[in-house]
Amino acid sequence: DIVMTQSPDSLAVSLGERATINCKSSQTVLYKSNKKNYLAWYQQKPGQPPKLLISWASTRESGVPDRFSGSGSGTDFTLTISSLQAEDVAIYYCQQYYDKVITFGQGTRVEIK
């Protein structure tokens, strides 16, 4: 199975500052024939199901604020929150859907400093 490793496990950022979460896959999730990265990002708040933020590594879901952006290709990916807001406190997960067996990263907890 493809192992997804996020870093850091948690981070505390001041309001209005940038938060950066990294995700590394144990093998490529870039499908050469269509040049797409099979990588998504989710946000989960306590007591709620996960919410899709970004698909295909960098495509923001409709309604997701543009302070959220995704980048990267192959095995290394980043989720950036450009200006952290109070409502962004949550756990963030990356997920690969390249392989038959889907795997998630362990999650990164984002808090306010």
Considering beta carbons, is residue 16 or 46 the nearer one to other proteins?
Answer: 46
Residues lying near other proteins in the complex (CB under 8 A) are found at: 1, 38, 40, 42, 44, 48-52, 55-56, 61, 91, 93, 95, 97, 99-107
Q: Which residues pair with 31 in a beta bridge?
A: 36
Residue 17 CB partners (closer than 8 Å, separation 6+): 83, 84, 113
Residue 32 or 113 having the CB closest to other proteins: 32
Find out whether 11 and 108 touch, Cβ atoms under 8 Å: yes
Question: What kind and span of H or E run contains 37?
Answer: strand 36-37
Provide, rounded to whole angstroms, the least separation between the CB of residue 30 and other proteins.
Answer: 14
- Residue (16 or 63) nearer to other proteins, CB: 63
Q: Tell me the closest approach of the beta carbon of residue 15 to other proteins, in angstroms.
A: 26
Q: How far is the CB of 103 from other proteins (least distance, A)?
A: 7
Distance of CA 4 to the CA centre of its chain: 11
